[in-house]
Structures are given as C-alpha cells and as structure tokens.
Structure 1
Amino acid sequence: MSRPAPARRADYAAFFAIPTRWEDNDAYGHLNNAAYHSFIDTAVTLWQLDRGIPIEGEGVLRSLVVENGCTYHAEARFPDLLHAGLRCGHLGRSSARFEVGLFRNDDESACAEGFVVHVAADTENRPVPIPTDYRAALETILRGG
C-alpha cells in the first residue's frame, strides 16, 4: 500500500509555532502519539484566538469534536520547535474539518499530519449552522479556496 507524500509548508494557510516539552517524549525518545493530538488542538485554538474568535465564556460557539486522526511521517522529539500549519479541509453547514501539518524546526515536509472535525452545536448537543462571522474566518483558510 503506497502512502501519499508528506505535505509541504506551502499547502497550509496559517502557521503557529509550538515548542515541544521534555514531557512530550515517550520511552523511545520521540514525541508520544498523544502529544501530537494535543498540538493539533493547540493549533486550532491558537488560530481561533488569532482571529478574535472567543473560546470560552457566555455565548461562545459550542464546538464538539466528532472525529480526529493523525498520520506520522518522521520522528520529532524534544527540544524540536514545531510549526503547525493549519487549513480547513472541508466546510459544511454545521461542521468544519481542520487539517494541521506539523513541521519540525525548519523542515519543509510535515513530520505529521492530523485533522479534527468540529460540529457547531446548541446546549443540547444538536448541530446548528456555523455562524456567519466564524464561517467567513474559516473560508480564509479553506483548502483550495
């Protein structure tokens, strides 16, 4: 089974630097797989903050994670500095698929690529349309957009 080649930095729309920590390494001396999911979540949150999208407090948009995953291409370890490239791979009525490429130090190819799907929901966890201002922000990082 052939795998697609790792994405390049140019494939992503927004970037955020995320330092690794000693505690992110596992017994094998490289980043633990759970750390990658934390970095992906951090990249999405940093993008939201950068765009002025509130992440907490009254009236904030509830986003439920309904799916996530990660493909690993090369090892990273502490003290690498990761550069998280972010794009929106799919934008639906109530859902958005965030895609994140993690680039080690100055590497041009991603060492890992992950995704997380958020669904906008009401207080009873029913899907609701993505608000217009949030949709407009997502469109700025829409893949192929």
Structure 2
Amino acid sequence: MAEKGNRPDRDEYGYLCPVDSRWSDNDIYGHINNVVYYSYFDSTINRYLIEQGGLDIHDGEHIAYVVSSGCDYLEAAAYPDSLSVGMKVDKLGNSSVRYGLALFGAEGPAKATGFVVHVFVNRQSGRPVSIPAPLREALEKLV
C-alpha cells in the first residue's frame, strides 16, 4: 500500500463522477475485485464523452477503442463504500488520448490510480481518425 501523502487528491482531477459500489462488486476476500475498477474507469470516461463531448455510442460515425490501460491499487474499497472516479487528460494527441484516473472513497486520498488510452476510429472502417471537434473541446478542458 502507498503512503497517504504520495496519493493524489480529488483537486488534481478536472472531472469527478460518482460511482455506486454494488454488493456483486465484492469478491470472496471482502473487497471490490480488481477488474471492477476498470469498469468504474470505463463508465466514467464514457459518461464524460457522452455528456460533455456529444459522443453518440449507438449511431455516431466515430467511436473510441481502448488500446492500453493500467491500475495501481493503493487501498482496498468495499461495498457499500460511496465512491467517485476522478478523471483528467494526461496527453491529448491527434487521434488518441491518455486519461489519468483515480478512485476515491467518501473522503481521503485516492484508493487507486490508473490510466486508459483511447484511439478514436471510424466506426465502419476501424481506422484511426482525428478526434472530432466537440470531443476534442471537451477533452481540452481536462488537460
């Protein structure tokens, strides 16, 4: 486990998204299973892209693929913890973005930190495209 002083705080992230922990998120050891953290991160990113950038996940011409991700687990979380995910943009490229993410409890520093890299592609061809303007504008707010 990391020292509390070395863990990021909420104010380091431009977007905070509440996340409901669920009974089924806990594993046999009584804490939220590692893979669930990725689900929290993915949901936070997509909520932001939909609500702030206008991403049309059902019929839009462009979508985003996860090409890389990682997570460092710093302190256990467990149901029924009140959680939130902090999100920022670490790097904004032409067709890709690297998000910095952190999972927080009701108070205190991050319980986990992570990253996800998205590449924006044409839905039909699967080929990379420049990040569409409305999405880029939304992402620039978090750089």
Deviation (angstroms), 1:132: 1.5
For residues 128 and 19 of structure 2, what CA distance do their matches in structure 1 show?
A: 31
Q: Identical aligned pairs, as a percentage?
A: 36
For residues 132 and 100 of structure 2, what CA distance do their matches in structure 1 show?
A: 20
Alignment coverage as a number of residue pairs: 140
Gaps of 5+ in 1: none
State the match for 2:20 in structure 1. Answer: 19
Following superposition, which runs of at least 4 residues in structure 1 exceed 6 angstroms of deviation? none
Letter of the structure 2 residue corresponding to residue 139 of structure 1: E
State the match for 2:100 in structure 1. Answer: 99
Is residue 126 of structure 2 the alignment partner of residue 125 of structure 1?
Answer: yes
Letter of the structure 2 residue corresponding to residue 17 of structure 1: P
Q: Deviations over 1:75-119 (max 9, x none)?
A: 100000111111111100100111211101122x10001111110
Deviation (angstroms), 1:29: 0.5
Taking structure 2 as the reference length, the TM-score comes to 0.91
The range that moved more, 119-128 or 56-65, is 56-65
State the match for 1:29 in structure 2. Answer: 30
State the match for 2:9 in structure 1. Answer: 8
Deviation (angstroms), 1:53: 1.6
Q: What is the root-mean-square deviation of aligned Cα atoms in Å?
A: 1.7
The range that moved more, 38-47 or 50-59, is 50-59
Q: Is the contact between residue 53 and residue 134 of structure 2 (CA under 8 Å) also seen in structure 1?
A: no
SS at match of 1:125: coil
